[in-house]
Amino acid sequence: MPRAQLKIAILISGRGSNLQALIDQFGPGVAASPIEIVLVLSNRPDAFGLTRAVRAGIPTQVIDHKNFAERASFDAAMDQAIRAAGAELVVLAGFLRLLSDGFIAGWQDRLVNIHPALLPAFKGLDTHARALAAGVRFHGCTVHFVRPEMDSGPIIAQAAVPVRPDDTAESLGRRVLAAEHRLFPQTLRLIAEGKVSVVDERAVIRDTAFAGGVLCNPIGS
């Protein structure tokens, strides 16, 4: 008997390039998709990602954080909308708001983020410039389950790209973003297929083709 589609809500704040990568893989009309995107939610009414979702025929909602006096009430409004949509997994795809501990606890091991660095290195912002300043040879991106500490939680998968001698933050960022667009759908597919679990705060992948959780292409990137 085929596994039911995993219903996900995607949270965004901006242009939604990672959202588009997920729409391309799992959006309406994609045959045999293991995922149904039931909601795209933004805290910014001008986020271009909302236009991407509308074009794909995916329900959208705006909950503007500026209309709330405190973070907890904003998160509560989001939580209500997400649950009303029937989502089983919440996906942060460029969502630029810190979430409250209560929201994170309510979606324990069902809340996933992608970060533009190889965690635990370079948490926070300006990751590409900081990687260049540190002189690292590889940089990349990480998909992880979310915990209350910023950019922390069990690491599910990572993709690495080389740092070139002539790189700028912009050129390095473009290659990392291309890696994100490959890694994020692949990781969510594993989750939807029931191949990812958390054991003692470590993500375990049960897939022989992706057991290491690493996507590395240092020559072609």
Percent of the chain exceeding pLDDT 90 equals 90
| Active-site residue set | 115
Q: Tens digits of per-residue pLDDT, 19-57? A: 999 999 999 989 999 999 999 999 999 999 999 999 999
**pTM for the structure as a whole:** 0.94
What is the predicted pLDDT for the residue at 207? 81
Quick check: 218 pLDDT over 90? no
Whole-Å CA distances, 88 to 83, 126, 183, 199: 8, 31, 20, 20
Q: Does domain 1-107 have CATH number 3.40.50.170?
A: yes
Query: Per-residue pLDDT tens for 108-160?
Result: 999 999 999 999 999 999 999 999 999 999 999 999 999 999 999 999 999 99
At residue 220 the predicted structure's pLDDT band, cuts being 50, 70 and 90, is very low
Confidence of residue 166 (pLDDT cuts 50, 70, 90): very high
Domain range summary for the chain, segments of one domain joined by +? 1-107, 114-221
Answer whether 1-107 and 114-221 agree in fold.
yes
What local confidence, expressed as pLDDT, does residue 211 receive? 54
Q: What is the sign of the dihedral through the CA atoms of 162, 203, 116 and 132?
A: negative
pLDDT of residue 3: 74
CATH of range 114-221; options 3.10.300.10, 3.60.21.10, 3.40.50.170, 3.40.50.720? 3.40.50.170
- Note the pLDDT of residue 210: 66
- Helix segments in 7-159, DSSP class H: 17-26, 48-56, 71-84, 101-106, 127-134
The pairing of beta strand 60-62 with beta strand 35-42: parallel
Structure tokens at 68: 């709330």
Q: What is the pLDDT of residue 221?
A: 42
**Nearest C-alpha neighbor of 18 from the set 61, 47, 59:** 47
Confidence band of 90 (pLDDT split at 50, 70, 90): very high
Burial label, 144 (beta-carbon count in 10 A; 0-12, 13-18, 19+): buried
Q: Per-residue pLDDT tens for 56-89?
A: 999 999 999 999 999 999 999 999 999 999 999 9
